[in-house]
Structure 1
């Protein structure tokens, strides 16, 4: 954390205008960032956090990682999937319906009912270039220290295939073999650090807040770094063009 703050301070000294731009964008982005979780009235705690998501489209669509959304809920106990928001120390749960899931790209589309929320605009992820400055906002620690969104800067370090054949077949696992049999796709490799709670966080233009990708702190890392004995601190994101495809599914 000290190194991160030192890096941000140095960046602001060298380019105060860029820091000012992100400062202006963060409040707008945070209004669209939500927690993803489940609610069960008789459970303690009743709300269980599982990851981050963000609102887009008409203000009733929420995007997150597929692995963040449970495959099934306990219907007998009336467990519900939904979003988690906070007002100070008060946590609120709002039910949502899973309308589409893309397991190949680890994305999920939830739909809310009722009044819309502020929405983020989806950009053209094919136009993003290596070396470009990015930011992402989410809940790295979930509700452990309260539901307070945190923002990190990052650079698009590389655009790289999600999985590559291992030099040693003994390093391959079932998930990696399945992915190798599918059509490969490129992902964003970032030099920022994300945590499991960040899964589903929007990766966006720090100047405009336009979303270019979705943080994936678990699923992609498990594929990309299977052959590494000591996993790196690298963060990955799924390009937002796959979100656009998902939102067209009914």
Structure 2
């Protein structure tokens, strides 16, 4: 075969180029249209916000301790002169004063961070940064130092408000923590280990992390260490979205998980601190727990939501409103409750004395009630009785466990009155499904599904009528707390 001519080869090559030209053009267009992502440059942001971030130093007065020896006096003088602090563990002489260090001299307690929220000198920080301090010093980026006045602090949210005597200060703008999204860039400015105005950056890892009744934290991977507490968490618009407050750590240092108080929560607290020097919260006097999927299914709720009432404080707002242990609170003041931790925050935001609507789930149906919110006492605790002890009752109606594995007894009228319940049965023996669910002798069975329990005979009849293919909800009272346990009926053999 004779070789192809150069003219034929050029023709074939040109045809191939023309054939692929549309695909090349389309690829080039797609690459041009694809968005490009660049890492943010925080330099301008830090330059803008840094001057409003402050260092907070706290001190305490030296207390008397005891009598030293001559060597101790020399060592104490060494620490005082070269380090400016008292010798660790140094005692004091009988007169109550160290040689070389007058009684009542200031001693450093700790270092933290804060930020200016108004040009006239209001500074926000963490409550634990200034707790038990005798004197609080605030140092600005330009090295000016002020003695600060503590306007007020709130331990529940770990927020404190300070005031320094200054005007025309640089301040930070407040953002909207409700609009924070997981994955967005944020930075922290503070004084980790006393290193003033240190900047670290990262992203928001999650929102609404529950670590306390009033703290739905923002979780980040921003490096936060001791000394960062009280400093701002800032978004790319230069707005404060949180106060750096806690870290998860096994070593005491940063391990990749840090938590910030949402600025919306913090501002609500500081407004009350500024106006009254303290925070007033509402309460309805109930103990609550989460609603599991099993409990929701067994009670016909559809999906897991709301707050399960475990106990109701006698004489409290909830009891007066007719709320009972075992109820599930679905709405408070028109707002849905998705998880139990939502309720304390909603109630806490209501001014004491306000009457609000509440929706609850009881026996397969919703009920609407009104409740007057009381004031929360920070030191108030619900009193609980000890667990009920089992009793020996030879008149038990049956010696054979029912399909739930329970043998129950009648409750005398005097005990019903003592427990402040209308009816129920007391567990005498436990086996099978009930034992696996955690029911104990001495527990009180109040309800089975949507039916109140009135006697051992009636309870056993209710158990007989249970569908063995479905989970049953048992309302169990132990001490003052009521919980809902889910059981699947089984076949019990006679003993």
The answer to whether the superposition gives a TM-score over 0.5 is yes
Q: Offset of 1:93 from its aligned partner? A: 2.5
Instruction: State the match for 1:84 in structure 2.
Output: 139
The answer on 1:111 being equivalent to 2:163 is yes
Q: For the Cα contact (< 8 Å) 2:223–2:254, is it kept in 1?
A: no
Q: For structure 1, which runs of at least 5 residues remain unmatched after alignment? A: 1-12, 74-79, 164-178
Q: For the Cα contact (< 8 Å) 2:242–2:262, is it kept in 1?
A: yes
The answer on 1:32 being equivalent to 2:52 is yes
* Whole-angstrom distance in 2 between the partners of 1:65 and 1:203: 13
The answer on 1:216 being equivalent to 2:245 is yes
Report the aligned-residue RMSD.
3.0
| 1:9-67 deviations in Å (ceiling 9; x for gaps) | xxxx9615x21xx2111112110011111357998256845201010133411111110
Instruction: State the match for 1:122 in structure 2.
Output: 174
Instruction: State the match for 1:243 in structure 2.
Output: 266
* Whole-angstrom distance in 2 between the partners of 1:59 and 1:27: 21
TM-score (norm 2): 0.36
TM-score (norm 1): 0.69
Q: Offset of 1:209 from its aligned partner? A: 1.0
Total equivalences in the alignment: 196
Match of 1:193 among 218, 223, 229: 223
Q: For structure 2, which runs of at least 5 residues remain unmatched after alignment? A: 1-35, 63-79, 86-105, 276-495
Specify the structure having the higher radius of gyration (Cα): 2
Match of 1:154 among 202, 226, 240: 202
Q: Offset of 1:210 from its aligned partner? A: 0.6
Q: For the Cα contact (< 8 Å) 1:161–1:184, is it kept in 2?
A: no
* Whole-angstrom distance in 2 between the partners of 1:86 and 1:193: 21
Find the residue that maps to 1:63 and give its secondary structure.
strand
Find the residue that maps to 1:200 and give its secondary structure.
coil
* Whole-angstrom distance in 2 between the partners of 1:65 and 1:57: 17
Change (3 A) 1:112 1:157: same
Find the residue that maps to 2:227 and give its secondary structure.
helix
Q: Say which structure, 1 or 2, has more relative contact order (CA 8 Å, 6+ apart).
A: 1
Instruction: State the match for 1:175 in structure 2.
Output: none
